[in-house]
Amino acid sequence: MEVIKSARTMQRHAAELRQRGKRIGFVPTMGYLHAGHLSLVDAARPHCDVLVMSIYVNPTQFGENEDFDAYPRDFDRDFRLARERGVDTLFYPDTAELYPENHATSVRVEGLEEKLCGQSRPTHFRGVTTIVAKLFHIVHPDIAVFGQKDAQQAIILQRMVRDLFFPVRILVAPIVREADGLAMSSRNTYLSPEEREQALALYRGLQQAKKRVESGEANSNIIIDEIRSIWRQQPNLREDYISIVDLDNLEPLSQINQCALIAVAAYVGTTRLIDNIMIDKDGTHALKIKNT
């Protein structure tokens, strides 16, 4: 596995690979790799000849009072895990090159970036779309894989790719969970043992919601209230949002018909966690989100 730090070197390398007819698969990460990230590598593998992973904690997707400085970093461990999993090229750029002096350009996906997590993180998604646009131009992938854990991110990026005609296909890989159901996240390391326990309520609420939908409940408010009542049993858990939305436009759905995204965010202590499940009664939408 080679490590490339310079964006210009990475860009030339990608151009050479494509010139030689190689298909490039891309897994962008902020590092501190866990099984969720590594599952993205597995998802990309069948679609490419050369697999590029980036590790970059992107400052512009953190708000002013968020955890950019505290975000966990461990390059040596990430290097080992990526190599073991079969990554071919690790792209490890720095901010001075990705955001040069007088950087002024941003990519926005209006109408989607303000919803769900955008309510409490108003500049988050423009940070994501901007860095991903850069990375796509540098790595020039044929396919890129993102996790369903960040469902809104995946939906926004698919819209960006479609709208701007990026020559890349975005695949979305399923959420990977700990044995007890907690969705994998680099931020889980912030949790105390007690908070870790209370954080399970996110998944329990979603499981209960799924059960209720499967048994015929279609009223979103009833389902949201049930999740909320499960959460209320945890003293250190504070709701950010519990939303049932359309998978295309992220608009709230009062009724769950064929498909929906049930997306939740909560603070457990001071740590903000997100989770979601997709309701997909006839199986067509999951295909869509996974193979666009």
Q: Dig out the tokens for 161 from the structure.
A: 């790719």
Rounded least distance, CB 14 to its own copies, Å:
9
* Position among 5, 75, 84, 111 found at the interface with its own copies (CB under 8 A): 111
The verdict on 140 binding its own copies (CB under 8 A) reads yes
Q: How far apart are CA 188 and CA 156, in angstroms?
A: 24
- Cα 135 from Cα 10, distance rounded (Å): 10
Residues with Cβ < 8 Å from 103, sequence gap 6 or more?
Answer: none
Which range touches its own copies (CB under 8 A), out of 134-142, 195-203, 228-236, 273-281?
Answer: 134-142
Report the C-alpha gap between 71 and 58 in whole angstroms. Answer: 10
CA–CA separation, 105 and 35 (whole Å): 33
* 107 touches its own copies by CB under 8 A: yes
Phi first, then psi: give them for residue 278, nearest 5 degrees. -105, 130
Using alpha carbons, list the distances in angstroms from residue 155 to 93, 113, 165, 249. 25, 10, 15, 9
What is the per-residue binding string for its own copies in 199-228, x denoting contact by CB under 8 A?
------------------------------
Least spacing, CB of residue 133 vs its own copies, in Å: 5
Say whether 37 is catalytic. Answer: yes
**Active-site entry in 13, 37, 124, 285:** 37
Among 69, 165, 216, 254, binds its own copies (CB under 8 A): 165
Residues with catalytic function: 37
Binding site for its own copies (CB under 8 A): 7, 11, 15, 18-19, 21, 100, 102-112, 129-130, 133-134, 137-138, 140, 159-160, 162-167, 248-249
